[in-house]
């Protein structure tokens, strides 16, 4: 193949990727729930297999797992809606406290000859925008029941289809041995990552709740759920989750309490995120740190918030798929965190 032919092939492949990504982004309303259901099924399938090994048939095992999830989700959703309504009612109090803070700041800056507009600052601190945001969030949570029901039904059918799907793939693939090995490797990597990440995120949420409860910060459960959810987002999720409770502690509990809460979040992220998580994850994800951050941006742009939450497992799957393609091993090497694949 000449250099011109290789260049033409590369341009055609790039054009195909652009068309595929544009189609995925345009159909995100359909693709995102399917991808989310797929990864939820990947997490739950080992639990269903564990129940089967204990002696429970697959159908009752799936029903038991889904039933527990529905009950826990309904209880959590009801609690969150109630807490969000209470949080919306307390937002006007923030304006009164912040006005006192800003008046003191205006007096302090005036001593140093710094111009400071109290009215402009209060316009930025207007709670009406936050109230509208919380109201929309509550309405979306209340209206998400039908979407969650469809998501759970998709997960149930995926769990039912999982044993039969393996046999179907063995007949469809041109190289069943290598293809099934790659699929199993991807499933093992993704399920291990998601299970460990869920455990780590749950531990993070519990420790955050305990910290805020001991410090007397209101809506501790709400902020702990936020810490649990955003911990799935690599690099920046834990930082974003710390901002609202720290601001609330500074305004309502006092400066000292706010500093303690901020230091507590920093310590939690240091111990769990930088010490426990790498230890539990083992050798690593097989992805470089730069690729993890860039994948967060790319999948977030392509699939929105769900893409940010699942950026790491989606990139792991893409890397394993590239390793199986004849011309994709070099790209897979660029995504990796070492050069061992270069000798393969």
Domain that holds residue 159: 27-172
In a domain, 287, yes or no: no
pLDDT of residue 343: 42
Is residue 46 within 8 A of residue 191, CB to CB? The reply is yes
Question: To which residue do tokens 């392509």 refer?
Answer: 302
How confident is residue 129, by pLDDT bands cut at 50, 70 and 90? low
pLDDT of residue 158: 87
In a domain, 48, yes or no: yes
Number of domains comprising the chain = 1
Report the distance separating Cα 294 and Cα 289, nearest Å: 9
Query: Mean per-residue pLDDT for 57-78?
Result: 86
Structure-model confidence comparison of residues 44 and 320, the more confident one: 44
Query: Mean per-residue pLDDT for 161-169?
Result: 77
Is residue 133's pLDDT more than 50? yes
CA angle 113, 118, 122 (to 5 degrees): 150
Query: Is the pTM here over 0.85, yes or no?
Result: no
- 249-293 pLDDT per residue, tens: 887 777 788 889 999 999 998 888 777 777 776 555 667 778 888
In a domain, 189, yes or no: no
Structure-model confidence comparison of residues 84 and 283, the more confident one: 84
SS3 content of the chain, % helix, strand, coil (to 5): 85, 0, 15
In a domain, 216, yes or no: no
Report the distance separating Cα 108 and Cα 74, nearest Å: 49
pLDDT of residue 283: 53
In a domain, 65, yes or no: yes
CB atoms within 10 A of CB 172: 9
In a domain, 132, yes or no: yes
In a domain, 114, yes or no: yes
Q: Shortest CA distance to 287 belongs to which of 234, 335, 324?
A: 335
Query: Mean per-residue pLDDT for 106-125?
Result: 63
- 71-85, 99-113, 242-256: segment of lowest average pLDDT: 99-113
Q: What are the contacts of 252-260 at 24+ separation with CB within 8 A?
A: 252/93, 252/97, 252/217, 252/218, 253/215, 253/216, 253/217, 257/215, 257/216, 257/217, 260/215
Is residue 242 within 8 A of residue 210, CB to CB? The reply is no
In a domain, 275, yes or no: no
Q: Shortest CA distance to 58 belongs to which of 66, 67, 49, 69?
A: 49
Query: Mean per-residue pLDDT for 207-217?
Result: 91
């Amino acid at each position: 193949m000449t250099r011109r032919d290789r260049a033409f092939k590369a341009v055609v492949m790039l054009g195909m990727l652009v068309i595929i990504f544009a189609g995925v982004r345009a159909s995100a309303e359909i693709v995102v729930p399917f991808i989310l259901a797929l990864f939820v099924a990947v997490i739950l399938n080992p639990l269903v297999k564990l129940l089967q090994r204990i002696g429970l048939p697959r159908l009752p095992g799936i029903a038991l797992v889904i039933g527990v999830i529905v009950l826990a989700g309904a209880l959590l959703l009801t609690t969150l809606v109630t807490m969000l309504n209470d949080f919306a009612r307390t937002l006007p109090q923030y304006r009164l406290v912040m006005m006192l803070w800003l008046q003191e700041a205006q007096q302090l800056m005036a001593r140093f000859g710094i111009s400071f507009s109290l009215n402009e600052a209060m316009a930025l601190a207007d709670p009406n925008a936050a109230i509208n945001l919380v109201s929309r969030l509550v309405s979306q949570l209340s209206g998400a029941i039908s979407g969650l029901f469809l998501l759970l039904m998709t997960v149930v059918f995926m769990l039912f289809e999982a044993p039969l799907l393996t046999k179907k793939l063995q007949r469809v693939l041109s190289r069943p041995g290598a293809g099934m090995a790659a699929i199993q490797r991807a499933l093992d990597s993704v399920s291990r990552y998601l299970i460990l990440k869920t455990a780590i995120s749950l531990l993070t949420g519990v420790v955050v709740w305990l910290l805020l409860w001991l410090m007397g910060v209101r809506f501790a459960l709400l902020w702990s759920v936020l810490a649990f959810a955003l911990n799935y987002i690599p690099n920046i999720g834990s930082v974003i989750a710390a901002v609202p409770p720290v601001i609330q502690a500074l305004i309502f509990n006092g400066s000292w309490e706010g500093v303690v809460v901020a230091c507590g979040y920093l310590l939690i992220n240091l111990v769990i995120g930088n010490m426990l998580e790498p230890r539990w994850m083992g050798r690593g994800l097989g992805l470089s740190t730069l690729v993890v951050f860039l994948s967060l941006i790319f999948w977030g742009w392509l699939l929105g918030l769900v893409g940010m939450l699942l950026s790491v497992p989606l990139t792991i799957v893409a890397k394993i798929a590239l390793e199986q393609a004849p011309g994709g091993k070099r790209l897979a090497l660029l995504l990796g965190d070492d050069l061992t694949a270069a000798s393969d």
